[in-house]
Structure 1
Amino acid sequence: MSGPSFLRNPAPAIQQGRRPIGVSSLGQIDPWRLSLLHDRPDNVLIWITRGQGRIVINGVRRGFGAHNAMFLPAGTLFALEPGAQCLGLVVQSPAGLTGRLPREALHLRVRDGVAQAELTTEIEAMQREFTKDRILLQDALDAHVRLLAVWLHRQVAAGTTDASGKETAGQRLVRAYAKALTRGYASDRGVADYAGELGMTATHLTRACRAACGRTAVEMLTERKLHEARCLLSQPQPPVNRVAAALGFHSAPYFTRFIRTHTGVSPSELRRGARPPARRTAPVR
């Protein structure tokens, strides 16, 4: 993904010739950056400290509550749907920073108070690093990421991994579709093309997607395109017509119609910082 950091203000992130390590609270992140299905080139750790909500990981939606940790390796298609009272912390780190981080997505339900305190303390220590002008800042942040990796592995060994039952055939299908979306969302391919690649009809794929995550196959594709479009339009360049072409739209007017349909404003208005009216994302027909 070519979009910028989660953060509206990228100041609490360090970058020296590579993607940044960043730490933020859920309240610092524009809601659409989390709620629209997307994948990232970074590893993401989400630590929920209060409240509840739902998360979609590789096309499968499940609930979460306080003291749940979700680790999402780079390339994982996900969307976070926090409740109104939800509070949490988010850590993003470059893929490949350490070989210790898990390679598969994790959803941990942490009940041990000591383990909860360990993770909160570690993330808060990273936040403090950003507030102090001290030498070897990058080295300190790298070390903290490695300690987070140790914490994750210990929690897996302690049996905190969410056990939502055996994966169904439908969920396996949706996971395969989610993986295909991360590779091909920027093309002009439609759901029928993806369904054909997976050896089934678009109707069957849509039924499986709705059961697994409450979204149709078209809505999943639409959200991934929309997230990337909004990331690109949050920057002054490239021009709107090039953004449209990069996302598989054959004309700028069609892209403008797409953005206005799903946000209520035009691409140029989004780029100028206009706040879209609250509305549910609708799929392109």
Structure 2
Amino acid sequence: MAQPVSIRTLAQWSRGADWRLALPHAEAEHALVWITRGQARILLDGVQRGLGVHNAVAIPAGSVFGLTPGPHCFGWVATIAPRGPIMMPDTAQVLRILEAHNQAELTGLLEAMQRETNRGLPFADEALAAHAALVTVWLRRMMIDHPMPTRPSAAARLVAAYSALVERDFRLPRVMADYAAELGVTPTHLTRACRQSAGLTAGELLVRRTLHAARLALEDGEMPVAHVAASLGFGSAAYFSRFIQHHTGKTPTALRKAARAPRIGL
């Protein structure tokens, strides 16, 4: 069962596998990402952009995103359960914090959450929730002081709508053209918008969302490969196996085995 509040580093959030963050997907919890070293790239709300030091990113639960930290990137991630007493914004936020006192305030709050997690004292969950509430107060204040543009581009709005439909229906046997028809645009127009805003084609976005779900089921779950294939709308286990091998270089069975092999030095 997920904790109402947690604090992790980016590396801990990815659990040592880049694809867990980089492939487009949605999480069940709200997340606040705070970059303190290096650079990263994020696809969020249909827009791909670079992140640097002192960028704060609020990702609402259910929002489709893909986060790729650079080789020297370090950051914190506070996750907060939705529908609870701790308030998080309903829309994604990407804020660049320039003021040293605001930077230090958030870093201090997140480090206090980390200390509380490590100490294991009584009432740690209450202390974490209190710190998280202060983090969200900080976030809402920064949203007032550093407002984002209120009107995304037409391409970004279309890609965000497409991403939401993919998140809803990626387990169904639908192709990209089906989504384009539902959005009332041609596949060519949808692909052009995706390239312009997200840096990927519409087909690539759909494939990558499916691949994230497939790897999650194979590497974390116990469901037989044929059942995983059926749950993701593949017509046959053989087609699913070819899909996995094409995108990972391994068969589904080999991918599952590799993910569960002991890691030397960890």
Q: Is the 8 Å Cα contact of residues 49 and 67 (structure 1) preserved in structure 2?
A: yes
1:60-115 CA-to-partner distances (Å, cap 9, x unmatched) read 11122100000000011111122222211112221122352111100010011111
Q: Could you tell me which residue of structure 1 aligns to residue 141 of structure 2?
A: 154
Residue 178 of structure 1 corresponds to 163
- The 5 A counterparts of 1:266-281 are 266-274=251-259
TM superposition score normalised by structure 1: 0.85
Equivalent position of 1:97 in the other structure: 84
Equivalent residue runs for 1:1-285 within 5 Å:
15=1, 18-19=2-3, 21-28=5-12, 29=14, 30-98=17-85, 100-159=87-146, 161-163=147-149, 166-274=151-259
Please report how far the alpha carbon of residue 162 of structure 1 lies from its aligned counterpart in structure 2 after TM superposition: 4.3
Structure 1 residues 241 and 191, CA, compared in 2 at 3 Å: closer, same or farther?
Answer: same
Q: Distance in 2 between matches of 1:78 and 1:236?
A: 22
| Preserved CA contact (<8 Å) 1:195 1:205 | yes
Deviations for 1:104-155, whole angstroms, at most 9, x for unmatched residues?
1000100111111111111111111221221112212222221111011010
What's the TM-score, normalizing by structure 2?
A: 0.91
Matched residues, percent identical? 46
Gaps of 5+ in 2: 261-266
- Separation in structure 2 between the aligned mates of residue 260 and residue 98 of structure 1, nearest angstrom: 44
Q: Match of 2:84, as an amino acid?
A: L
Consecutive unaligned residues of structure 1, counting only runs of 5 or more, are 1-14, 276-285
Alignment check: 8 A CA contact 2:29 2:80 kept: yes
- Per-residue Cα deviation, 1:180-199 (whole angstroms, up to 9, x for no partner): 11111111111010000000
**2:22–2:67 Cα contact (<8 Å) kept:** yes
Distance in structure 2 (CA, Å) of the matches to 1:19 and 1:128: 16
**How many residue pairs were aligned?**
257
Q: Which has the higher helix share?
A: 2
SS of 2:26 mapped into structure 1: coil
| Counterpart-to-counterpart distance in 1, 2:191 and 2:230 | 26
User: What letter matches 1:207 in structure 2?
Assistant: R
Amino acid aligned to 2:208: E
